[in-house]
Structure 1
């Protein structure tokens, strides 16, 4: 279910939105990591920082999900998207997948704006990634006995991810939990039995 067996070209063709998001994040990381002043300025312009958001720089509710602090941060998030994103894009549909991803990321940043430490900047796609987990949680809720394999795989992953959120240092706990909740709520709408999409 989550084992990727497609060739590179097949992956791109079948999951264009997941591919585009991964490529965009990698390109942004490379550009903002260049040893020139403009790169650091671009990074600063896009990162989430509550005082500047309060001053009207609302784009910072969106742009942080395409920025990462270090290669490990980037690789962890993109690997998660690479593994779990395709199945959600296939089951939910391309437009709905993009909606889940973007809204989960944006609302994770909104939640941090209202509840987080205003002195600490934040970046990363984790809120959107947790939104994917939340959407799978909604699918598990509706299917239960119908898709035991999905439940056996995703439920432990969701639980472990939440636990690790509270155990690891320098983690945006508010963003993770908010992304998870938003993804779950959107998934409840998208995967309602009246709208359920067949799982092939």
Structure 2
């Protein structure tokens, strides 16, 4: 048995399943090592930056004297991102080690899913991602702090001034480029899956209910912290898919 591998229109060669498997393993290892490298860089960089801030610039660090480095680390987006990439990279190396040629052959269900996904355009996902991107662009003109004050999920305003709409508008705001990038990417990925696998109207309903649920959880666990971002809605989409 052999596979046809096209390097160009003129150069073609035959490779065995074992050779193809080794090529796939090598490609996965390279990506995994890049992920591990980025993860280590982000983790070490975050640790160093926070340590320097606590020890040399305490005036810029909230309650620096009474908090440890690890307290600030787990509130730092770059550190959490580094942990994510490090975990994915390690898992990728393990996956490459265990990968078999049979795993590369798509099942009939996977082939059918691919065919259906090509026919389905995830309009709702486009609309949701486009909406939060548009709001983020508007934030850049208004200012991050000002936009959070105006429409963020500020808990005292929600409770004392009865501005209940903030639990929804806060989900449309984001705290920066990385925040909107990863939330937008996740929202499109999981949202389009729901549109492929289920009724696309479920995407809007689940996302809305998850935003409200996530907001209430934030209100309970962090009553004094203003919240922004669509993370609660994205967690709801993941739960729906599970």
Pick the TM interval, shorter chain. Answer: 0.5 to 0.7
Aligned equivalents of 2:200 and 2:189: distance in 1? Answer: 16
Identify the match of residue 93 of structure 1 among 192, 199, 205: 199
Give 1:76's aligned residue. Answer: 182
Aligned equivalents of 1:132 and 1:65: distance in 2? Answer: 14
Matched, 1:16 2:123: yes
Please list every run of 5 or more consecutive structure 2 residues that lacks an aligned counterpart in the other structure: 1-109
Equivalent pair of 1:47/1:121 in contact (CA under 8 Å): yes
Please list every run of 5 or more consecutive structure 1 residues that lacks an aligned counterpart in the other structure: 138-200
Identify the match of residue 210 of structure 2 among 90, 98, 104: 104
Structural RMSD (CA):
2.3
Give 1:117's aligned residue. Answer: 222
Q: Find runs of 4+ consecutive structure 1 residues off by over 3 angstroms.
A: 39-43
Identify the match of residue 26 of structure 1 among 130, 133, 137: 133
Matched, 1:60 2:170: no
Give 2:148's aligned residue. Answer: 43
Identify the match of residue 241 of structure 2 among 106, 112, 136: 136
State the TM-score, normalized to the length of structure 2. Answer: 0.48
State the TM-score, normalized to the length of structure 1. Answer: 0.58
> In the TM superposition, what is the alpha-carbon distance from 1:40 to its structure 2 partner?
5.2
Give the aligned length: 127
Instruction: Look at both structures and tell me which one has the larger radius of gyration over its CA atoms.
Output: 2
- Aligned CA distance change for structure 1 residues 123 and 27 (closer, same or farther; 3 Å): same
Aligned equivalents of 2:165 and 2:122: distance in 1? Answer: 27
Comparing both chains, which one has the higher relative contact order based on Cα–Cα distances under 8 Å and sequence gaps of 6 or more? Answer: 1
Equivalent pair of 2:154/2:226 in contact (CA under 8 Å): yes
SS at match of 2:165: helix
